[in-house]
């Protein structure tokens, strides 16, 4: 766990101690503080509703004892009128109370969700390397939802139940002490049965939920990778895997249903027996004239109303436990400090010149596994260099540490003679245009994907950028042109087109530094030529670092660095490196020669 300062993932899904802790409650309360007055108003309404709830049985008692017994019609009408009024009043206040509670609940959920989102957005890549996206998505959705449930279904309901129970007990004791005692004889047995039931049922439903999540994850992965599944004829095996998860799901569901159908009637029976007890005991008393018939009827209603909240107590407890585990996970995530920190005296300047220097840079993703070993080089303003090397040599790592996607272990990286850790992160990155190996395309239009939702960028600018990077003809032949919706992750765009979209982004951003991780897969020669042409244009006037996989790219740069096992082993231009007959020569023979 991150809390201990270790390097492992921030928190596992299992939370061992589910008891709500004071610090969690305090922190949660902090989120509700801005809404304190609404919460108080809702609580007041809740008290009124609870009080109103005990009126109808009392009215029944009055109607029976006072008016039915004496055949007083006007009295009965009057009672019926009051009864209706109480119900309407209860309905209106309850409506207002629920609306207010929901309002606060939703507002707090938005606050927490946005906080988590903002925090996630700023975490270092190291964090994302260690935490599966699926789990993080669960965190933002399910865990926040559990908190919502805690507030609306847990805390508020418990407060309401508490008022109801107190009010009922007071009224019952006032009406008849002996009947009250009789009603509560079975209370302990009932409470215990209800508690056991809810614990068992909760465990079963947790299993069901687990398998649903597993099934969803499996489905999503299989559909996302459907091309690979089909290409490798994995359909049958994956079908079996999905079937196994579904069978587990069915089993767990049946367990939950069994518990519900076996235990629940037992719990209900106990409450019915209590009512039977009142009829038996109270009936005798009524015949003796010790209690009135109306009191007896009212008692039956009260007992029902009394037992329901007690029955649900276990469930409420589960909600509280769940929410406690969820808030624990959310707060732990918010406390995760895997950030790329800005220096206290950070410089609010963006790199303008584009001179890059590595001084004895050592870098590792995980402690003890050094990836880059003592790398030093200097790239002058406007220079174009290529990094080449075998897969896993460390090329992507070298370019990832320049915009501080990761921080280095030791050494220095200087841009315009200033250590990159001295820049404000955002300013530093504003000075660097990045083209990743697999350009990410967001859901939205072509226009959005080039402008990246920057409102200050006009359609004309986007069009001009698209023309420069040879993307324009591809976009213009689409039905909606720049307003064409891009499929999920740009699926309706070719790899070449996606590459050009990434170029267009850089062209608009216009930074002094260009960093590109060239795609490894080859594209048809025609598109290839267009991309090369675009690359030449966007390299123009920029310090450019290209992780190169194509000979044509390599021939377009001033200098080549050969990376081998985390070190720069050779340096020079194409001809001089070939003449050396070293690593570059071998690489060239293997990769680039026809």
Q: Binding residues for ligand ADP, per CB under 6 A?
A: 129, 365, 371, 389, 391-397
How many CB atoms neighbour CB 315 within 10 A? 19
Distance CA 399, CA 240 (A): 42
Residue 389 contact partner, candidates ligand ADP, Mg ion, none, CB within 5 to 8 A by sort of partner = ligand ADP
Which is nearer to ligand ADP, 167 or 514 (by Cβ)?
514
Residue 391 contact partner, candidates Mg ion, ligand ADP, none, CB within 5 to 8 A by sort of partner = ligand ADP
Minimum Å gap between C-beta 389 and ligand ADP is 5
Which is nearer to ligand ADP, 394 or 512 (by Cβ)?
394
Minimum Å gap between C-beta 366 and ligand ADP is 6
Which is nearer to ligand ADP, 391 or 525 (by Cβ)?
391
Residue 433 contact partner, candidates ligand ADP, Mg ion, none, CB within 5 to 8 A by sort of partner = none
**Is residue 396 close enough to count as binding Mg ion by CB under 5 A?**
yes
Contact 338, 526 (CB under 8 A): no
Using CA atoms, how far residue 182 sits from 177, 186, 296, in Å, is: 9, 8, 12
Say which residue the tokens 């080449």 belong to: 388
Which is nearer to ligand ADP, 392 or 487 (by Cβ)?
392
Minimum Å gap between C-beta 587 and Mg ion is 14
Query: Which residues fall within 8 angstroms of residue 526, CB to CB, at 6 or more apart?
Result: none
Residue 129 contact partner, candidates ligand ADP, Mg ion, none, CB within 5 to 8 A by sort of partner = ligand ADP
Query: Which residues fall within 8 angstroms of residue 335, CB to CB, at 6 or more apart?
Result: 2, 3
Minimum Å gap between C-beta 519 and Mg ion is 10
Minimum Å gap between C-beta 132 and Mg ion is 21
Token pair in block for residue 394: 């460390």
* Four-point Cα dihedral 407, 408, 412, 418, nearest 10: -10
- Residue span binding Mg ion (CB under 5 A) among the ranges 96-104, 176-184, 241-249, 394-402: 394-402
Residue 393 contact partner, candidates Mg ion, ligand ADP, none, CB within 5 to 8 A by sort of partner = ligand ADP
How many CB atoms neighbour CB 451 within 10 A? 22
Which is nearer to ligand ADP, 116 or 548 (by Cβ)?
548
- Residue span binding Mg ion (CB under 5 A) among the ranges 121-129, 252-260, 393-401, 468-476: 393-401
Contact 453, 440 (CB under 8 A): no
Could you tell me where the DSSP H helices lie in 442-549?
446-451, 459-468, 472-476, 495-509, 525-539
Minimum Å gap between C-beta 310 and ligand ADP is 53
Minimum Å gap between C-beta 426 and ligand ADP is 23
3-state secondary structure of 455: coil
Which is nearer to ligand ADP, 365 or 588 (by Cβ)?
365
Q: Is beta strand 543-547 parallel, antiparallel or unpaired with respect to 384-388?
A: parallel
Which is nearer to ligand ADP, 78 or 130 (by Cβ)?
130
Which is nearer to ligand ADP, 314 or 389 (by Cβ)?
389
- Written as one string, the DSSP assignment of 530-570 is HHHHHHHHHHTTSEEEEE---HHHHHTSSEEEEEETTEEEE
Residue 272 contact partner, candidates ligand ADP, Mg ion, none, CB within 5 to 8 A by sort of partner = none
Nearest residue to Mg ion, scored by beta-carbon proximity: 396
Which is nearer to Mg ion, 155 or 562 (by Cβ)?
562
Minimum Å gap between C-beta 377 and Mg ion is 18
- Residue span binding Mg ion (CB under 5 A) among the ranges 21-29, 105-113, 342-350, 396-404: 396-404
Minimum Å gap between C-beta 399 and Mg ion is 9
Q: What is the DSSP letter of 66?
A: I
Residue 222 contact partner, candidates Mg ion, ligand ADP, none, CB within 5 to 8 A by sort of partner = none
Return left, alpha or beta for 419; rule: phi > 0 is left, psi -120 to 50 is alpha, else beta: beta
Which is nearer to ligand ADP, 353 or 390 (by Cβ)?
390
Contact 225, 238 (CB under 8 A): no
3-state secondary structure of 376: strand
Say which residue the tokens 């007992």 belong to: 303
Token pair in block for residue 567: 């070190």
Residue 521 contact partner, candidates Mg ion, ligand ADP, none, CB within 5 to 8 A by sort of partner = none
Residue 17 contact partner, candidates ligand ADP, Mg ion, none, CB within 5 to 8 A by sort of partner = none
Exposed, middle or buried, 142 (CB in 10 Å: 0-12/13-18/19+)? middle
Which is nearer to Mg ion, 312 or 438 (by Cβ)?
438
Residue 552 contact partner, candidates Mg ion, ligand ADP, none, CB within 5 to 8 A by sort of partner = none
Query: Which residues fall within 8 angstroms of residue 443, CB to CB, at 6 or more apart?
Result: 485, 486, 488
Minimum Å gap between C-beta 557 and ligand ADP is 17
Rule CB under 5 A: which residues touch Mg ion?
396
């Amino acid at each position: 766990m991150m809390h201990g300062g270790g390097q492992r993932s921030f928190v596992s899904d299992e939370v061992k101690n589910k008891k709500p802790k004071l610090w969690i409650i305090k922190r949660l309360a902090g989120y509700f503080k801005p809404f304190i007055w609404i919460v108080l108003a809702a609580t007041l309404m809740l008290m009124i509703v609870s009080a109103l709830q005990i009126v109808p049985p009392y009215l029944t008692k009055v109607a029976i004892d006072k008016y039915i017994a004496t055949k007083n019609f006007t009295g009965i009408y009057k009672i019926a009128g009051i009864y209706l009024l109480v119900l309407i009043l209860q309905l209106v206040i309850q409506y207002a109370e629920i609306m207010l509670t929901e309002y606060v609940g939703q507002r707090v959920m938005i606050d927490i969700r946005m906080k988590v989102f903002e925090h996630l957005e700023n975490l270092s890549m190291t964090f994302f390397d260690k935490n599966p996206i699926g789990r993080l998505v669960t965190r933002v959705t399910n865990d926040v939802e559990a908190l919502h449930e805690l507030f609306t279904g847990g805390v508020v309901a418990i407060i309401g139940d508490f008022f109801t129970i107190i009010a009922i007990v007071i009224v019952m004791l006032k009406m008849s002490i002996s009947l009250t005692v009789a009603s509560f004889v079975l209370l302990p047995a009932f409470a215990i049965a209800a508690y056991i039931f809810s614990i068992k049922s909760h465990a079963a439903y947790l299993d069901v939920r687990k398998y649903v999540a597993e099934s969803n994850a499996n489905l999503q992965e299989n559909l996302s990778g459907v091309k690979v599944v089909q290409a490798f004829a994995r359909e049958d095996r994956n079908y079996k895997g999905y079937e196994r998860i579904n069978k587990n799901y069915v089993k767990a569901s049946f367990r939950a249903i069994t518990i519900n159908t076996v235990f629940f009637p037992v719990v209900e029976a106990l409450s019915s027996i209590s009512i039977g007890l009142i009829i038996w005991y109270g009936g005798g008393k009524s015949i003796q004239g010790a209690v009135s018939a109306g009191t007896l009827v009212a008692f039956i209603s009260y007992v029902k109303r009394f037992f329901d909240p007690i029955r649900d107590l276990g469930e409420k407890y589960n909600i509280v436990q769940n929410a406690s585990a969820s808030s624990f996970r959310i707060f732990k995530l918010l406390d995760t400090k895997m950030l790329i920190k800005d220096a206290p005296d950070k410089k609010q300047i963006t790199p303008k010149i584009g001179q890059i220097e590595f001084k004895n840079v050592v870098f590792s993703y995980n402690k003890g596994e050094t990836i880059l070993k003592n790398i030093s080089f200097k790239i002058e303003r406007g220079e174009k260099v290529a990094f080449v090397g075998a897969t896993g040599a460390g090329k992507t790592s070298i370019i990832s540490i320049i915009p501080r996607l990761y921080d280095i272990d030791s050494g220095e990286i200087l841009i315009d003679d200033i250590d990159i850790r001295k820049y404000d992160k955002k300013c530093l990155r504003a000075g660097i245009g990045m083209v990743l190996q697999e350009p990410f395309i967001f859901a939205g239009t072509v226009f959005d994907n080039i402008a990246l939702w920057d409102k200050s960028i006009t359609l004309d600018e986007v069009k001009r950028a698209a023309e420069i990077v040879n993307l324009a003809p591809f976009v213009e032949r689409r039905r909606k042109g720049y307003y064409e919706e891009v499929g999920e992750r740009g699926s309706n765009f070719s790899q070449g087109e996606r590459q050009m979209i990434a170029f267009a982004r850089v062209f608009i951003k216009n930074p002094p530094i260009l960093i590109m991780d060239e795609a490894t897969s080859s594209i048809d020669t025609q598109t290839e030529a267009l991309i090369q042409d675009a690359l030449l244009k966007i390299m123009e006037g920029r310090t450019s670092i290209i992780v190169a996989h194509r000979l044509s790219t390599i021939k377009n740069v001033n200098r080549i660095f050969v990376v081998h096992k985390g070190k720069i082993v050779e340096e020079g231009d194409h001809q001089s490196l070939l003449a050396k007959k070293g690593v570059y020569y071998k690489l060239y023979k293997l990769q680039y020669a026809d």
